[in-house]
Structure 1
Amino acid sequence: MTRTFNALVYGDVDLNIIDGSAVWAQSTVQALSRAGCRTRLVLKSPVRTERLIEPLAGLPGVTVVRPYEKRLVPEQGPRSSLSPVQASQLLARLDGDERCDLLVLRGQRVVRRLVADGAFDERIWAYLTDIPQSAAEMTEAARTDLARIAGSCRHILCQTEELRCFLETWVPEACGKSALCPPAVPVPAFSLPERDRPHDPLRLVYTGKFAPRWNTLPMTRLPTLLGKRNIRAELHTVGDKIHDDRACPDFKAEMIQALRAPGVHHHGGKSREEAMCIAADCDLGLGWRDTFLDASLELSTKILEFGVLGLPVVVNRTPAHETLLGRDYPLYVPGGAVLADAADAVALAVHEPGARRLAAERCREAAQRYTLEAAANRWRAHLDRAFPSSSRLSTSLEKGGSPAVGARQQPLRVGVAGHDLKFLTRLLDHFRALPGLDVRIDAWPALARHDPAASKELADWADVVFVEWCGPAAVWYSRHKRRGSRLVVRLHRFELTGPWPRQVDIDAVDRVVCVSPQYARSTREHTGWPESKITVIPNWVDTAQLDRPKVPGARFRLGMIGIVPSLKRLDLGLDVLEKLRAQDRRWHLSVKSKPPWDYWWIWNKPEERAHYDAVLRRVQTSPLLEGAVVFDAFGPDVPSWLRRIGHVLSTSDLESFHLATAESMASRAVPALLPWAGADEIYDRQWIHDSPEAMADAIADLGPDDWQSAGELARTQVRNSFSLERVAQDWAELLVSG
């Protein structure tokens, strides 16, 4: 049976005024309802108009909570809004009445308050647009504030891929927690008019707030300016939010006056559907803004609303708009700085019907990716990942004759121990979300340092103990295993040649897990342990986080993740790059790694220092490598970094799995591997080449279409074999059934 989730939604927004933030609240509730959630929308302000609330009436599972009308916050006056403190206290009370699974919040002030109060840790899904969106704005104080928020939230919801990548670059704590949540627009319930030719006079339309940087004041002068070019035009405007801008003290009065100007038809505040009806009867939408906003990492809902109506839109040429509409979209404002530039774009739409039709089609196609149904599907996917179901696990175990998680009288008690649990983070999230598992952690502060009393308590409590790394923790737990419990140890390449496997009491270990068949064989050969105790579960890959569109030019950029120690063979990667650049100087290599001197146990070895000295000198002196190798900072922002990478190289002498290859494939980077032992048992043979020269030839042979197809195939292979959901399922079955 599908679980129904309880959602609370609150935004630091006034739903009496139609603007992007208020429309966000409405569409978020609509999308959550379609996704099957029971949703309570809590209003910030007393209701003065039902325009945005009325469409929510009667939606399945939706309740609108009106704090002022219900006297839930006695201090709130008839014209006052909830403060962040009041909102936090009220949301906590509502959660006490009926616990929510997720609290969707918009606005940094209120998110900051909820995080500080701590009542919703790991349940907050924060939608933030009012945050720094440039390097100049990202002060250390701002970064620290966002890090604190990210650390307490379940997810950070980002409107665009660009905003998500920017946030992950500056706030590492957001990596792995960021999720796309773009604007959503309803498909009109009314019939759209035919637009073979524009009206006479031409009908321009703008809907939304009126603000200086939204160019709403100069827009009102377009009918007059176009008239001087023998184009009869009128402007239709919808909205009731006029900014009172301190930087432009005369703006509000001038805007009110301009809305009464000849050729301007102001319709005032309307419901979203009424605004869309008015826009549908026009010829050309206006999304032209001040060039200051060109660097914005947000997506204009206005373009999408006009697009779903089949309206072409006049907009600035920005990277975000080029991604949405294409570089050859015909109605970009040529310069963007002055009113005449906008008039030029309008004139082009009038005089060239083909350009107008192409623009309308591009806008319509773009909008189809942002409908409410598409938003509901995204929410379903987010919820499936955040709250994995145990139903598939139960079914598979029942077939095998083992007691299923869901059928147990008590949850299965799972203890996890180890000194470094970074490879388990998302698996632990998955296990904790399963209703049939109770998970506790014994985190060792160092490889051989722990609290024996805490470890003993975990050993006595757990039905199953899972030890990450076959090191001192595995030795200790193998000697303190409780009768009737089970012990599972995961062995990495690092420990295989260390002293610990010989010290482990293998009779107390139920299963030893290796990440590849090659290392399972090596483990048997090195330790002599029984074959029946050794099994293979591959590394997991967060395919959803890595599934991001490539940036222009990615096809000509090679990538390597991790170049330490020397057996990673950066020198062979340089061989590949030199051969490619001998034919085409567009090829570059990006290396994401810590430098070797950051690993003292590596840098203390003379042969390692000699290797990197030679490699770095080669980068500096080779004519073919000049300016072609970039060393990027090590960090968790791998998904955003991989957007720039078209091919990933695996040139190592030795690997147990090489997770970087799988992660890159999940991003649609085409893999190229040398035949290290066991590579062909993990990755398809078509990606494996005999030499750096053969790798370079295979890479060069891929034209644009072939490269795209190969990237899609690589992504599909990783999703089928190593996705987090698939591997977590294998782990859960092992923990439950042995």
Structure 2
Amino acid sequence: MAGRSRRVLVYGDVNLNIIDGSAIWAQSTVETFARAGCDVTMLLKTRIRTRRLLEPLERLPSVTIARPFEDELLPGLAGDRLSYQQASTIMRELDEQERFDVILLRGLQQVYQVVADGAHNGRLWTYLTDIPQSVVALDTETQDRLSEIASASRYMLCQTEELRSFLEATVPEACGRSVIFWPVVPTPEFEVPPPRSAAGDPLKLVYSGKFAPLWKTLEMTALPRQLGEHGVTAELHAIGDKVHNDLDDPDYRDRMESALRSSPGVRWHGGQRRQEAIRLSAEADIGLSWRDPALDASLELSTKVLEYGSVGLPVVLNRTPMHEALLGADYPLFVRDDADVIEVILAAVREPTVYAEAAARSASVAARFGLPQAVDRVRALLERAFPEAPAFAGRSQPLRVCVASHDLKFFTRILDHLRALPGLEVRTDRWPALSSHDEGASQELVDWADVLVCEWFGPNAVWYSAHRRPGQRLVARLHRFELYRPWPGQASIDRIDQVICVSPHYARLALEKTGWPAAKVTVIPNFVDDIQLDRPKLEGAQFHLGFIGVAPARKRMDIALDVLAQLRQDDPRYQLFAKTKLPWEYPWIWGDVDERIAFDDVLRRSQTDALLRGAVTFDPFGPDVPAWLRRIGWVLSTSDDESFHLAPAEGMASGAVPVVRNWPGADTIYDPRWVHPDASTMAEAIADIARTGRWADEGRLAQEQVRSSYALDLVTEAWTRILVEDLPGFALPATPASAQQSVASA
């Protein structure tokens, strides 16, 4: 990580005196950021009763433990734990002493309190697991709070892909901010026993964690006796000291503790340091993570499952979609209910191949969650949040940049990047409509800025070109929409340093239509957030065609239906999913009779054609495209014309295969292998790739291509350069390689 060490404050609504999943999370998070090169301050929530989890952190030179009670961080602080407001106040005071770059928080109520206080917005990295994890359970108040939290967060850290998808589907503000923050398995500080080829005799089972009804820990204490009835001598080693108080079952705690102390074959080791808990687990044969089916819908992954795997143990756990995605649907130690548990354990004991396969699968998965891998992931997040200083950052004063636009929807991520750059100060002139603005406010920005950026070449570009100061730099981005309006002819090109087009085809059209000097026009393509879009595909994706945006009619969804119908003649598994606003949601489209007729034909055909009925789904428009693309294997682009068409590129970044009709300029943006003359050849290409088993390979190739040409980092680098220097002008004639060359040369 280049530059100075980042200062990170970590606080969780967590009691580090008790060993449970949240306390382990806090410890491993602090260690991960410290080993990633950060200076970490960990603020404790409670008075210190035991140092089991703190001692490993205190040995790290870049970690500072802030003890609110012992160090009297608030006057008159009483009790044993901080309230939400007290914690927020202490965080603000610590930040005032020396500003933190990252404030990493866990716990919904605590995070919401900090967001409401407003002192750290934009620097928050928020980790939420204590939230409703289904649409049915998510109430309006919580959804509103999550929206506020997302808007204030730089990153929302999600433990699993399933949780990220849920958040993005229900909280639009989370899109683009949600990143995976896997559980972390520490590197064992002891010699791990060699892999076992079979279970031992006596059979040693291990459970590590909290003791609670839904975690089936009381039932676990009966396993040695039940296995003995089947001729298997067994022991249960139980590790942990957090016994749940159940309001619905007041006697549960007493029964649980009694079972741990007195059940035959059970040895209770109590609370242990994390390394000691893992060492004790390594001496066992099988790890237990069997839970009540009520938890099957949980979007969280148990860290204990990974810890067992890290020392070679197979794990007994519930069969859920998330666990199947992790371990494979054919993992042999899945259970569906209590009756399966004994049967599954007996299979592992009596069939060495079952035991060995489960152990190998568990170990392979756990290897992805080690501390070194976690450090690499954190460094990548930090590098994106804190980009390296550009060459001009050495100026005596920050470079002042004004971005003027009536609509920043295509510019938001670029704007985020510019705001994050050291040595840059960015302000926006947001026009309330295409042709209206506060002229006085705009003039103040002209007087202030070193560089003017007009997103859209509309009245904003006309006004700023007329009012720019001598020596002031002005660049404007031209989209398809403006090229056929009067504004390019109303602006003096001599007063604009460069005009940016998103594709070689439209750069050529701009030069032909305006007569501007070639040096004035350059190509910076649309960006694709390749990191956000790179997510694992869901089962069946290879039969799912994706179509993003059906309106206006020139998008030609009728051709997409032709493709689908031809495929379904031979294979009815193919389906089409259209993520879109519907035409009647656009008054300017729905007011056009021809548009209404065209879409009526599409709807009627999709519902009445025997080949299409039940195979076309309209999904709601929204920013959760990366999550939606997980179930899409092919992205169609069937338009009559496009300036760029981002949908195929986004699909490529997700690992989907692009299938593009040859609209003008398509082969200057996309590899000709993806471009086809008509619906029939599009369908034939899909069928051939699927028939020959090349879908995954073609998806990987598409992903590599889009990363090398349109990745967000490449495009933002070009935008950073154009703030201070001209990029190469567009050269005629363009070749199909122009699109890729444009970014490389920028």
- Name 1:400's counterpart in structure 2: none
Distance in 1 (alpha carbons) for counterparts of 2:384 and 2:193: 41
Deviation at 1:705?
4.5
* Partner amino acid, structure 2, of 1:158: C
Deviation at 1:2?
3.1
Q: Report if aligned partners of 1:312, 1:361 keep a CA contact under 8 Å in 2.
A: yes
Q: Does 1:474 align with 2:461?
A: yes
Q: 1:719 aligns with which of 703, 707, 711?
A: 707
Distance in 1 (alpha carbons) for counterparts of 2:341 and 2:69: 44
* Partner amino acid, structure 1, of 2:142: A
Q: 2:416 aligns with which of 425, 429, 446?
A: 429
Q: Does 1:68 align with 2:55?
A: no
Deviation at 1:423?
1.1
Please give the residue correspondences for 1:441-456 in structure 2 after superposition, counting only pairs within 5 Å.
441-456=428-443
- Name 1:597's counterpart in structure 2: 584
Q: 1:414 aligns with which of 392, 401, 408?
A: 401
* Partner amino acid, structure 1, of 2:384: R
Per-residue CA distance 1:152-193 (angstroms, 9 max, x = gap): 111111000000000100000111110100100012121122
Q: Does 1:224 align with 2:211?
A: no
* Partner amino acid, structure 1, of 2:701: L
Distance in 2 (alpha carbons) for counterparts of 1:3 and 1:71: 30
Please give the residue correspondences for 1:675-686 in structure 2 after superposition, counting only pairs within 5 Å.
675-686=662-673
Q: After alignment, is 54-63 or 216-225 more displaced?
A: 54-63
* Partner amino acid, structure 2, of 1:542: D
Q: Does 1:130 align with 2:130?
A: yes
Distance in 1 (alpha carbons) for counterparts of 2:98 and 2:363: 41
- Name 2:24's counterpart in structure 1: 23
Secondary structure in 2 matching 1:458: helix
Q: Does 1:526 align with 2:513?
A: yes
- Name 2:720's counterpart in structure 1: 732
Distance in 2 (alpha carbons) for counterparts of 1:70 and 1:242: 30
* Partner amino acid, structure 2, of 1:344: E
Q: Does 1:154 align with 2:151?
A: no
Distance in 2 (alpha carbons) for counterparts of 1:581 and 1:197: 48
Distance in 2 (alpha carbons) for counterparts of 1:248 and 1:348: 34
Question: Percent of pairs identical after alignment?
Answer: 56
- Name 1:167's counterpart in structure 2: 167
* Partner amino acid, structure 1, of 2:187: V
Q: Does 1:254 align with 2:258?
A: no
* Partner amino acid, structure 1, of 2:222: R
Q: 1:491 aligns with which of 466, 475, 478?
A: 478
* Partner amino acid, structure 2, of 1:700: A
Per-residue CA distance 1:459-502 (angstroms, 9 max, x = gap): 11111100011111111111111111011110100111112112
Per-residue CA distance 1:359-405 (angstroms, 9 max, x = gap): 00011000011111111111111111111112xx42xxxxxxxxxx1
- Name 1:92's counterpart in structure 2: 92
Question: Taking structure 2 as the reference length, what is the TM-score of the superposition?
Answer: 0.96
Q: Does 1:296 align with 2:283?
A: no
Per-residue CA distance 1:668-725 (angstroms, 9 max, x = gap): 1100111111111111111111211111111111238511111111111111111111
Distance in 2 (alpha carbons) for counterparts of 1:37 and 1:663: 33
* Partner amino acid, structure 1, of 2:369: Y
Distance in 1 (alpha carbons) for counterparts of 2:75 and 2:355: 55
Distance in 2 (alpha carbons) for counterparts of 1:197 and 1:468: 65
Deviation at 1:25?
0.4
- Name 1:623's counterpart in structure 2: 610
Q: Does 1:184 align with 2:184?
A: yes
Q: Report if aligned partners of 2:404, 2:454 keep a CA contact under 8 Å in 1.
A: yes
Secondary structure in 2 matching 1:361: helix
- Name 2:328's counterpart in structure 1: 326
Q: Does 1:546 align with 2:545?
A: no
* Partner amino acid, structure 2, of 1:49: T
Distance in 2 (alpha carbons) for counterparts of 1:672 and 1:287: 44
- Name 2:33's counterpart in structure 1: 32
- Name 2:272's counterpart in structure 1: 270
* Partner amino acid, structure 1, of 2:544: R
Deviation at 1:3?
3.2
* Partner amino acid, structure 2, of 1:727: V
Distance in 2 (alpha carbons) for counterparts of 1:50 and 1:332: 36
Q: Report if aligned partners of 1:412, 1:736 keep a CA contact under 8 Å in 2.
A: no
Secondary structure in 1 matching 2:694: helix
- Name 2:110's counterpart in structure 1: 110
Q: Does 1:694 align with 2:701?
A: no
Q: How many residues are matched?
A: 722
* Partner amino acid, structure 2, of 1:420: D
Per-residue CA distance 1:423-470 (angstroms, 9 max, x = gap): 111111111111121111111111111111110001111111000111
Q: Report if aligned partners of 1:520, 1:536 keep a CA contact under 8 Å in 2.
A: yes
Q: 1:606 aligns with which of 593, 603, 620?
A: 593
* Partner amino acid, structure 2, of 1:267: H
* Partner amino acid, structure 2, of 1:374: Q
Deviation at 1:206?
0.2
Distance in 2 (alpha carbons) for counterparts of 1:301 and 1:572: 48
Q: After alignment, is 17-26 or 477-486 more displaced?
A: 477-486
Q: Does 1:58 align with 2:71?
A: no
* Partner amino acid, structure 2, of 1:579: Q
* Partner amino acid, structure 2, of 1:203: K
Distance in 2 (alpha carbons) for counterparts of 1:692 and 1:198: 58
Question: Taking structure 1 as the reference length, what is the TM-score of the superposition?
Answer: 0.97
- Name 2:494's counterpart in structure 1: 507
Secondary structure in 2 matching 1:257: helix
Distance in 1 (alpha carbons) for counterparts of 2:318 and 2:37: 38
Q: Report if aligned partners of 1:115, 1:121 keep a CA contact under 8 Å in 2.
A: yes
* Partner amino acid, structure 1, of 2:361: R
Secondary structure in 1 matching 2:187: coil
Q: Report if aligned partners of 1:501, 1:527 keep a CA contact under 8 Å in 2.
A: yes
Per-residue CA distance 1:193-219 (angstroms, 9 max, x = gap): 242343322110000000110000000
Q: Does 1:145 align with 2:175?
A: no
Deviation at 1:598?
1.1
Q: Report if aligned partners of 2:199, 2:348 keep a CA contact under 8 Å in 1.
A: no
Per-residue CA distance 1:582-627 (angstroms, 9 max, x = gap): 0000000000111111111111111111111111111111000010
Per-residue CA distance 1:297-349 (angstroms, 9 max, x = gap): 0111111000001000000100111011000000011x32x2x3211111111
* Partner amino acid, structure 2, of 1:296: S
Q: Report if aligned partners of 2:146, 2:171 keep a CA contact under 8 Å in 1.
A: yes
Distance in 1 (alpha carbons) for counterparts of 2:551 and 2:162: 30
Q: Report if aligned partners of 1:387, 1:433 keep a CA contact under 8 Å in 2.
A: yes
Q: Report if aligned partners of 2:103, 2:124 keep a CA contact under 8 Å in 1.
A: yes
Deviation at 1:74?
3.6
Q: Report if aligned partners of 2:193, 2:311 keep a CA contact under 8 Å in 1.
A: no
Q: After alignment, is 445-454 or 699-708 more displaced?
A: 699-708
* Partner amino acid, structure 1, of 2:700: E
Consecutive unaligned residues of structure 2, counting only runs of 5 or more, are 727-746
- Name 1:401's counterpart in structure 2: none
* Partner amino acid, structure 1, of 2:230: R
Distance in 1 (alpha carbons) for counterparts of 2:178 and 2:630: 15
- Name 1:383's counterpart in structure 2: 382
* Partner amino acid, structure 2, of 1:155: Y
Per-residue CA distance 1:524-581 (angstroms, 9 max, x = gap): 1111222211111100111111110000000000001011111110000001000000
Please give the residue correspondences for 1:397-412 in structure 2 after superposition, counting only pairs within 5 Å.
405-412=392-399
* Partner amino acid, structure 1, of 2:134: S
Q: Report if aligned partners of 2:27, 2:57 keep a CA contact under 8 Å in 1.
A: yes
Deviation at 1:520?
0.6
Q: Does 1:206 align with 2:193?
A: no
Distance in 2 (alpha carbons) for counterparts of 1:247 and 1:702: 57
CA-atom RMSD, angstroms? 1.1
Q: Report if aligned partners of 2:13, 2:45 keep a CA contact under 8 Å in 1.
A: yes
Q: Report if aligned partners of 1:245, 1:251 keep a CA contact under 8 Å in 2.
A: yes
